[in-house]
Structure 1
């Protein structure tokens, strides 16, 4: 009979925790930037925002510092926090970074498709790429209905899904921030928020390359598309065939809660 064990040896594990107030505040700010409630150049007044969120100023500060770290907010000593505005140099660096992430994701997906086909598991390929095709159809419907912001959402979702099906969690984490930074760049366009009229054609070509397991063509298409985006936002090229939403041209800034007896302050 084996000896009785009075204790069980367990590996070291971290306690499971629920999302913290700071996590939730960070998510709220990220969402506000993504949907355009917070635009490049908008200020984040600490007193009003913490009051509106119902959290302490110290919790808001920590949430904001996470966004500063990711480049979504900019801290100017003596002035406060602002939603980052991308200048030409920053935009070029960002596109280079995005290219590295997305081309690796496309390579992973194309190689996975090629491996499935080589193993005789070709029937799995449509299910693998279905999320991308779903985004293509969303883009098509949005453009047909003149819903420019929804077309942009579907476009960014396609790139996010590409990272997700690459099965690399680091690429997914990077894309979580990249899609918001991209939205900030497009909101910074002084001519107004716009998307390419031929967006679905570009998407279909990318999905076709992935379905063929052609990583080289997929990378080429991403490179051309993202460099064209950078050139447009920098104003380096003449106006392309774009669909714009005049209602998204300017922002008067967010309406923060004003505390009774206090003037708005950073």
Structure 2
């Protein structure tokens, strides 16, 4: 007689799947907003966009609703979906949110560096912060070459890297949305897309505070940097010198291509 097999109780498992069409559509829209192909106030024409992406309108709607949830798109009943405009009130709320996320990430990194240094492992502390040096150098080179958009890209990459080094997945996820919202605010500036002329020096101050394991000083540098950004984007005026690209003004809307008849659901 064959021995009886015991039943194994497995936990509930989710099926493993490749990225869905909706995931890919969401990423395409996020990238379009980040790189400025979609600017604040631009509409998202459902028919044309779904046709260009080669997906159903229902799939596009679901992808768009994810961006509405994150504040990147605004839905106006009877009018449709638009890339969110960062008005003064929105900017104030957003900077408060960004400060909370970034100051926490910087504190975690600085505390970790302080622990490593107190343990006599200076090499590990420097290795931990090494990913920040590449975007710092990119910022410096971009400013020297007057490549304003690249300087902005490098700046956002550095701030994203701090969250990555902190290693908290919730902070990392939040920063992924924050960098796009920051870009939207910059594109909303009526004087043109701009970055601080002393951005590289601001990065050096932040890295110096993190390298010293000084969480309080790192938070102070972030607070000064983000308050300057908020003031500039709210009023269009800047206390510090700003390098601008007048060609990167708010868009009148993308050139959507109509590909034919309405697509079914």
Normalised by the shorter chain, which TM-score bucket?
A: over 0.9
Which residue matches 2:142? 142
Which residue matches 1:76? 76
Helix, strand or coil: the match of 1:259?
coil
Which residue matches 1:120? 120
- Is the Cα contact below 8 Å between 1:33 and 1:184 reproduced in 2? yes
Which residue matches 1:178? 178
Which residue matches 2:88? 88
Q: Distance in 1 between matches of 2:238 and 2:55?
A: 46
Q: Which moved more, 1:104-113 or 1:227-236?
A: 227-236
Q: Distance in 1 between matches of 2:70 and 2:171?
A: 15
Which residue matches 2:193? 193
Q: Check 1:218–1:153 CA distance in 2 against 1; reply closer, same or farther (3 A cut).
A: same
Q: Distance in 1 between matches of 2:47 and 2:152?
A: 33
Helix, strand or coil: the match of 1:33?
helix
Q: Check 1:24–1:65 CA distance in 2 against 1; reply closer, same or farther (3 A cut).
A: same
* TM-aligned CA deviation for residue 129 of structure 1: 0.6
Q: Which runs of 5+ in 2 are unaligned?
A: none
Which residue matches 2:39? 39
* TM-aligned CA deviation for residue 10 of structure 1: 3.1
Q: Check 1:126–1:238 CA distance in 2 against 1; reply closer, same or farther (3 A cut).
A: closer
Q: Which runs of 5+ in 1 are unaligned?
A: none
* TM-aligned CA deviation for residue 8 of structure 1: 4.0
- The number of aligned residues is 260
Q: TM-score, normalised by structure 1?
A: 0.94
Q: TM-score, normalised by structure 2?
A: 0.94
* TM-aligned CA deviation for residue 14 of structure 1: 1.5
- Is the Cα contact below 8 Å between 1:51 and 1:257 reproduced in 2? no
Q: Distance in 2 between matches of 1:107 and 1:242?
A: 28
Over the aligned positions, Cα root-mean-square deviation in angstroms equals 1.5
Helix, strand or coil: the match of 1:42?
coil
Cα offsets for 1:171-199 (capped at 9, x unmatched): 00000000000000000000000001100
Q: Distance in 1 between matches of 2:14 and 2:127?
A: 35
Which residue matches 1:203? 203
Which residue matches 2:25? 25
Helix, strand or coil: the match of 1:91?
helix
- Is the Cα contact below 8 Å between 1:67 and 1:73 reproduced in 2? yes
- Is the Cα contact below 8 Å between 2:25 and 2:60 reproduced in 1? yes
Q: Which moved more, 1:81-90 or 1:117-126?
A: 117-126
- Is the Cα contact below 8 Å between 1:70 and 1:177 reproduced in 2? yes
Q: Distance in 2 between matches of 1:161 and 1:58?
A: 35
Q: Distance in 1 between matches of 2:46 and 2:221?
A: 43
Cα offsets for 1:205-242 (capped at 9, x unmatched): 00000000000000000001100100001117446311
